[in-house]
């Protein structure tokens, strides 16, 4: 199980837009490099990509505040 850490402080989004489905759901298989969410820092958005392959389990909900270095998900 590897933890995927937030690269930035801000708001975590699991969807590309409020009316779109989540990038990934708990239990989905992800490949290294897949986009799994967005971090918004002061109205600027950065994609978060999986840094390993495997099954994903999210540790942070959509629209939750996160700190830099906080674990967003577990992949394994």
Residues forming contacts to other proteins in the complex (CB under 8 A) are 8-11, 40-44, 63-65
CA separation for the pair 52, 63 (Å, rounded): 23
Least Å from the CB of residue 9 to other proteins:
4
CA separation for the pair 58, 75 (Å, rounded): 9
Query: Nearer to other proteins by C-beta: 7 or 54?
Result: 7
Query: Nearer to other proteins by C-beta: 6 or 73?
Result: 6
Least Å from the CB of residue 13 to other proteins:
10
Query: Nearer to other proteins by C-beta: 10 or 36?
Result: 10
């Amino acid at each position: 199980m590897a933890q995927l850490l937030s690269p930035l402080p801000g708001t975590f989004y699991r969807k590309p837009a409020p009316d779109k489905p989540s990038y990934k759901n708990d239990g989905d298989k992800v490949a290294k490099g897949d986009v799994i969410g967005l971090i918004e820092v002061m109205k600027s958005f950065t994609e978060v990509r999986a840094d390993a392959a495997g099954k994903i389990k999210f540790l942070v909900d959509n629209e939750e505040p996160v700190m830099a270095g906080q674990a967003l998900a577990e992949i394994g």
